[in-house]
Amino acid sequence: MCFLGFGSYFCYDNPAALQTQVQGDMKVDTTTFMALYAWYSWPNVILCFFGGFLIDRVFGIRWGTIIFSIFVCIGQVIFALGALFNAFWLMELGRFVFGIGGESLAVAQNTYAVSWFKGKELNLVFGLQLSMARIGSTVNMNVMGLIYSRVQEMLRSTGYTTLGVTLMIGGVTCIFSLICALVLAYLDRRAEKILCKEQGKTGEVIKLTDVKDFSLSLWLIFIICVCYYVAVFPFIGLGKVFFIEKFKFSSKEASAINSIVYIISAPMSPAFGFLVDKLGRNITWVLCAVVTTLASCIMLAFTFWNPWIAMCLMGVAYSLLACALWPMVAFVVPDHQLGTAYGFMQSIQNLGLAIIAIAAGMILDSRGYLFLEVFFSACMCYMGQVILKPLSVTGGDLNLSSRKREKLQKLAAAEAENQEKLRCQNEDDLAKLQPQNEFSLRNRYLSRLGAQLPGNYAACHLSALAHKSVLK
Amino acid sequence: MPGSSGGCLSVLCLLGSFYLLAGDPGGCCRKVSLQYNPGLNSSSVNLLHVRAVGCNNTLHYVWSSIGAPTALLVYTDSESSALRVNWTKLLSPSPAGAIVVEPAGSVLYSTAVVFSRVFEYNGANTSDLTAVHEDNFYPTYDLADFSWESVNRTLNETALSATFQGVSVSDPKGAFRNGSISFRVTAYEESSRDTLLPRLLHTANSSKVEFIVNRVAPRGNGSRFALEIITVEEKGGRKTLESLRSINDEYTPTIFEVAQLVSDARNDSAGPSFLQWKATAYSSQNAMREDSYHCRYYPLQTANRTLPRLSIAHAYFGEALASQHSVAAINISFGSEDNEAYEEKGYLSWSALIGFGTPPKDTFSPLVMAIMVVALGTPVVLLVAGSFVVLLVQKKRLEEMAAKDHLA
């Protein structure tokens, strides 16, 4: 499951890893180059909401995942073809198609995670997914340049052909992701058969208007997500110059310290995920993360202390937040709305990021880094105060310790099991009415006759009897 | 919580008033007049006299492109002191004494800043001037050998500014076919802040000079420029290079460092003189943050420095200049490995303040103060108030319990 997102994260940052090459080969300036990212992110403000909705309503999670993976593949191929044919507009189109798949795939991944791991190691799984994503982009950053120079040696020419071939090679990761999606779908089907659970047949179907009925806690979670991501990512995006000018770092050091947040989050988020799984109390953890981030923001803004301290703190806080925050959605949303809820969360996160990235740029242009940091700190403060407090009140079992949560879950699980049994039985009853194979007909006939049937032929297992192989 | 908000407000007012008090280090306003080539009916040479009259003193700035571009700064404690220029002497090979400020007794302090040379080098590998290999330097532009256009054309009496625009006389590669190097001079009547980046805070006792390289063709890929500045101090005086790093980049986004050359402290009203600049240059006329070039300066060189042979500094300080005055030079280079190369925009501008008194210093703006107090202060207040309330409630409860016990 974790590899599902690998391809899309790997290819998402392809342009950044090959920026000089792309700009040189395609002969475009930086602004035009940045359009490659804009084409990815702007449509996603809306698209991944619909992506999530489609997963819930139309495709189901398995087909949804497969379809979105296919989109990712096709997008990357178009992107590479654009480079091969030296057509920049084709590259932009490729990024757009890639974007249709990319973010929705992330939504699908989250939904999968919840449907498989809810009540078990959900936080850990989210942590693992995050670290996989980070590894994806890190590998990309380091590998793509190498591949490019190899291809260049092989073809003995520079130019757009080399770029196209390199991107095609990058596209292999997308195929890999697609294969993962297929395997997942197979596994999910099997699991469903074995565990006798079925999706989408609960009778409740999500409508788009359900969005307005999302609970207050869910909205608060959304707002936290937006506020936090908005305060951390734009800063990282704009941070390099800050470290060079304020702390007199060299260009290389500045890049290194700027990426430390991601590097830390790769190993830390599974660890924290495990911790949060064991201890529960998600809200407390989120609060911790927010306070830590606030501290590091203040440190960066008001002191000349070594920024490595602040940035490492921020990395730790970020990984803690990511693996404590995302799984919270699963606790406050009914299962059939999960895809939509995650889609919506991703949508407004994208929207927030897109708007704040512009706003942060403007603030920086007119008022500088100090003001920016103060602004972000204020964001954090209000988030901590105004939002987390009501959330801990209204959030119900969000902040339970894992032991309490387990108890509740056992209760719920027992109830669900009962219902499930009932449902299974009903189905069996229904099955009795359906035309049956000769084996079961013979059984019924025998039992009517009053002949003794082996004990394991008990009524509850009758549906299993439909599969002859089980008997052998 | 009315108490806390009232507290916040009063703190804000206090900060605000403090800010207003601290914001005007320049003292009184000055009356500034510009005079072009006083006493000469020709514009073949440029000499701009800026006379800034204040309460009980007058500042004279003499900007000239006769020889190397030079700014001569004279502080007098009289409101009626005047500049006299002996043009025949000034334009002769020995100009000593051609420029005087009368009455001589009113002169408290004088100093000069000479912009002597512009270096061009290949900065593709490193922008550090001291690390660049000699082979990577292109022939130096000696500003004394430039031909300067008439300043009269660019003189703006309302904006109190003028531009010295020059091209290299010996220009075999045609680098100056479309381009020029210029110095734009602006005088101020009162303290305030520029509206354009780098938004230097200036006092009435200072002027601004902008060094501009506009469309001068670079002589190679990855060309970078550096400027050599020479300062002249009176006998026994000495300039020191100071670097001020602050956390505040509000006025000049992304720039946290101010560098200044300050002379020794003085006992009279003149105060020290200074040359102050922010560690940034810009690659566009309408400077934006992303046009910023990293600007780097190198240690002050004091040993064996001489002035260019032609400069109005000779005319004012006389022949004894080299032996009796202390001369120091500093190099400033523009652009670093992270910045785009000069050839992309073909424009470079760098601003510095030059003047008397304590160099101006940026303070937090009221807006930032307000946000800090409200956003970061409120949680603290709430925390304290909250714990206070909790304590009170507990105490009350204890008392009630005690009362019950008593009743029982």
Task: Classify B268 as helix, strand or coil.
Answer: coil
* Interchain pair A304, B257: CB under 8 A: no
**Per-residue model confidence (pLDDT) at position B63:** 94
Residue B91 lies in a domain: no
Contact residues, chain A to chain B, C-beta under 8 Å:
240-242, 244-246, 251, 298, 301-304, 364-371, 374-375, 377-378, 381-382, 384-385
Of A306-320, A405-419, A456-470, highest mean pLDDT: A306-320
- Residue B308: is the preceding peptide bond cis (ω within 30°)? no
Residue B107 lies in a domain: no
**Distances from the Cα of B133 to the Cα of B3, B121, B126, B226, B293, angstroms:** 66, 9, 10, 15, 22
Put simply, whether B368 touches A (Cβ < 8 Å) is yes
Task: Classify A32 as helix, strand or coil.
Answer: helix
Pick from B252, B261, B257, B258: which is nearest to B282 by CA?
B252
**Per-residue model confidence (pLDDT) at position A201:** 44
* Judgement on whether residues B387 and B250 belong to the same structural domain of the protein: no
CB-closest option in A245, A370, A381 to B379: A381
Put simply, whether B149 touches A (Cβ < 8 Å) is no
Interface test with B, best of A238, A252, A369, A376 (most B CBs within 10 A): A369
Residue A326 in this model has a pLDDT that exceeds 60? yes
**What residue type is B274 in one-letter code?**
F
* Judgement on whether residues B222 and B243 belong to the same structural domain of the protein: yes
Distance CA B243, CA B81 (A): 35
Distance CA A293, CA A314 (A): 5
Asked if residues A33 and A83 have their Cβ atoms less than 8 Å apart, the reply is no
Measured from the Cβ of residue B383, the count of other Cβ atoms closer than 10 Å reads: 11
Asked if residues B144 and B170 have their Cβ atoms less than 8 Å apart, the reply is no
Q: Which two tokens stand for residue A467?
A: 């599969």
* Judgement on whether residues B171 and B293 belong to the same structural domain of the protein: yes
Residue B262 lies in a domain: yes
* Judgement on whether residues B126 and B271 belong to the same structural domain of the protein: yes
The listed CATH number (1.10.3720.10, 1.10.10.10, 1.20.1250.20, 2.70.98.70) that belongs to domain A1-204: 1.20.1250.20
For residue A290, list chain B residues with Cβ-Cβ distance below 8 A.
none
Put simply, whether B255 touches A (Cβ < 8 Å) is yes
Residue B79 lies in a domain: no
**Per-residue model confidence (pLDDT) at position B69:** 93
List CB contacts of B73: < 8 A, sequence separation 6 or more: B59, B60, B61, B110, B111, B112, B113, B273, B354, B355, B356
**Per-residue model confidence (pLDDT) at position B274:** 92
Per-residue pLDDT averaged across B142-146, rounded?
90
CA distance B162 to chain A (A): 27
- Specify the residue for token string 């009113």: B106
DSSP of B110-125, one letter per residue?
Answer: EEEEEEEEEEEEE-SS
- DSSP letter at B364 equals -
* Judgement on whether residues B330 and B396 belong to the same structural domain of the protein: no
Q: Give the burial string for A267-303 (b: 16+ CB within 10 Å, else e).
A: ebbbebbbbbbeebbbbbbbbbbbebbbbbbbbbbbe
How many domains is chain B built from?
A: 2
Residue A208 in this model has a pLDDT that exceeds 80? no
Per-residue pLDDT averaged across A289-306, rounded?
87
* Interchain pair B250, A245: CB under 8 A: no
Residue B404 in this model has a pLDDT that exceeds 50? yes
* Judgement on whether residues B269 and B201 belong to the same structural domain of the protein: yes
The pLDDT mean for chain B works out to 84
**What residue type is A107 in one-letter code?**
V
- DSSP letter at A462 equals H
For residue A304, list chain B residues with Cβ-Cβ distance below 8 A.
245, 247
* Judgement on whether residues B300 and B211 belong to the same structural domain of the protein: yes
The predicted complex's ipTM stands at 0.77
Residue B344 lies in a domain: yes
Report chain B's terminal Cα–Cα distance, integer Å.
39
Residue A429 in this model has a pLDDT that exceeds 70? no
Measured from the Cβ of residue B83, the count of other Cβ atoms closer than 10 Å reads: 22
The domain of B225 spans 112-310+320-360
Report chain A's terminal Cα–Cα distance, integer Å.
33
Residue B44 lies in a domain: no
Q: Give the burial string for B350-381 (b: 16+ CB within 10 Å, else e).
A: bbbbbbbbebbebbbbeebbbbbbbbbbbeeb
Pick from B357, B272, B306, B382: which is nearest to B54 by CA?
B357
Residue A67 in this model has a pLDDT that exceeds 90? no
**Distances from the Cα of A405 to the Cα of A331, A412, B182, B262, angstroms:** 10, 10, 73, 68
Closest residue in chain A to residue B251, using alpha carbons only: A367
Residue B280 lies in a domain: yes
* Interchain pair A370, B371: CB under 8 A: no
For residue B379, list chain A residues with Cβ-Cβ distance below 8 A.
381, 384-385
Put simply, whether B257 touches A (Cβ < 8 Å) is yes
Q: How many pairs of residues across A and B have Cβ atoms under 8 Å apart?
A: 78
The percent of residues in chain A predicted with pLDDT above 70, rounded, is: 77
* Judgement on whether residues B345 and B375 belong to the same structural domain of the protein: no
Looking at chain B, how many residues does it have?
408
- What confidence tens digit (pLDDT) does each residue in B29-61 have? 889 999 898 888 888 889 999 999 988 889 999
Residue B81 in this model has a pLDDT that exceeds 60? yes
* Judgement on whether residues B259 and B388 belong to the same structural domain of the protein: no
Q: Per mean pLDDT, which range of A194-198, A293-297, A384-388, B319-323 is the poorest?
A: A194-198
* Judgement on whether residues B201 and B337 belong to the same structural domain of the protein: yes
The pLDDT mean for chain A works out to 77
Residue A13 in this model has a pLDDT that exceeds 80? no
**Per-residue model confidence (pLDDT) at position B241:** 92
Closest residue in chain B to residue A364, using alpha carbons only: B253
Asked if residues B19 and B366 have their Cβ atoms less than 8 Å apart, the reply is yes
Helix A122-155 / helix A88-117 crossing angle, nearest 10 deg: 150
Per-residue pLDDT averaged across B185-201, rounded?
89
* Judgement on whether residues B303 and B385 belong to the same structural domain of the protein: no
User: In chain A, which residues fall in CATH 1.20.1250.20?
Assistant: 1-204, 209-400
Asked if residues A26 and A88 have their Cβ atoms less than 8 Å apart, the reply is yes
Per-residue pLDDT averaged across A3-14, rounded?
78
Confidence of residue B18 (pLDDT cuts 50, 70, 90): very low
Distance CA B205, CA B353 (A): 10
CB-closest option in A245, A303, A371 to B250: A371
The CATH architecture assigned to A209-400 reads: Up-down Bundle (1.20)
Closest residue in chain A to residue B253, using alpha carbons only: A368
List CB contacts of A407: < 8 A, sequence separation 6 or more: none
CB-closest option in A246, A367, A381 to B250: A367
Per-residue pLDDT averaged across A8-19, rounded?
78
Distance CA A134, CA B286 (A): 39
Measured from the Cβ of residue B21, the count of other Cβ atoms closer than 10 Å reads: 9
Alpha-helix runs per DSSP H in B226-335: 312-317, 321-324
**What residue type is A65 in one-letter code?**
T
Residue A215 in this model has a pLDDT that exceeds 90? no
The percent of residues in chain B predicted with pLDDT above 90, rounded, is: 27
Of A119-123, A211-215, A404-408, B125-129, highest mean pLDDT: B125-129
* Judgement on whether residues B253 and B376 belong to the same structural domain of the protein: no
Residues pairing with B332 in the sheet: B227, B297
Per-residue pLDDT averaged across B129-146, rounded?
88
Residue B67 lies in a domain: no
CB-closest option in B257, B292, B372 to A374: B372
Residues pairing with B162 in the sheet: B185
* Interchain pair A385, B250: CB under 8 A: no
